[in-house]
Structure 1
């Protein structure tokens, strides 16, 4: 149950722009991603503590979630428009934070990433985390 609580809180920021806000659908997607990737609860904890993924399975869990919320397309590339929408939601109307979010998307959205979607999702995640730390963007607002 802890797994669901942690992931649901974080997923709210990612999926609040999706019109269909069915908690059961979200839970099912998370379970599917966790099962399909073979990730552990410890992998999930590390990801949401913003620590680098410790396993290939953790990276694949993140790729699956990114694809589910529309942040990663079928080619393994970041959908910059979706990323910006999400970062605007996290900024919660703070214009300065929105500018910082835009910097993150501009910096990380076009980086060259691995062809492997699992590796690419980790590269995007670490880029966004590092840029947020660097420029002062507050990742958690919920």
Structure 2
């Protein structure tokens, strides 16, 4: 399943020692759950790339993407790290890789709220919409 969490993500495409997997994503989301006070339902929604309905859910998203280096200290998307993750999750599928880069290009430089929690959700929303528009498979972490 192709995924993108840059904001994700893109939401939650995650990298650790050149691996991207559900267990790592879930573990980090659960660590962040404790940090921001999120619920199990908010973690599950996050892992499905669903819209964050509460500030806590938005902060969960920000926490996770920061932990994986996808959002820098200024609340902006780290394009280099995102490209690394796209290469991993595309797993040799050049078409999905190209579509992922198109999503990244469309959303990485959008103007976002200074609040990192709000910014993370704005990135997720942009990437989700663009992915749907062009056929990039975001899937589920």
> Under TM normalisation by the shorter chain, which class is it?
0.7 to 0.9
Q: 1:38-53 to 2 correspondence within 5 Å?
A: 38-53=37-52
Q: Which residue of 2 aligns with 1:123?
A: 122
* Structure 1 segments unaligned to the other structure (5+ residues): 1-9
Give the length in aligned residue pairs.
128
* Structure 2 segments unaligned to the other structure (5+ residues): 1-10
How far apart are residue 49 of structure 1 and its match?
Answer: 2.5
SS at match of 1:14: coil
Which structure: larger Rg? 1
Q: Which residue of 2 aligns with 1:64?
A: 63
> 8 Å contact 2:49–2:140 — kept in the other structure?
no
With the length of structure 2 as denominator, give the TM-score of the two structures: 0.79
SS at match of 2:50: coil
SS at match of 1:15: coil
> 8 Å contact 1:90–1:141 — kept in the other structure?
no
Q: Which has the higher helix share?
A: 1
Task: Supply the distance in 1 between the matched residues of 2:106 and 2:41 (Cα, whole angstroms).
Answer: 29
Task: Supply the distance in 1 between the matched residues of 2:108 and 2:69 (Cα, whole angstroms).
Answer: 14
- CA deviation profile, 1:111-141 (whole Å, cap 9, x unmatched): 0000000000011111111111111111238
With the length of structure 1 as denominator, give the TM-score of the two structures: 0.79
Q: 1:107-122 to 2 correspondence within 5 Å?
A: 107-122=106-121
Higher relative contact order structure (alpha carbons within 8 Å, sequence separation ≥ 6): 2
Task: Supply the distance in 1 between the matched residues of 2:63 and 2:49 (Cα, whole angstroms).
Answer: 17
* Pair 1:100-2:70 in alignment: no
Q: 1:16-31 to 2 correspondence within 5 Å?
A: 16=16, 18=18, 27=27, 29-31=28-30
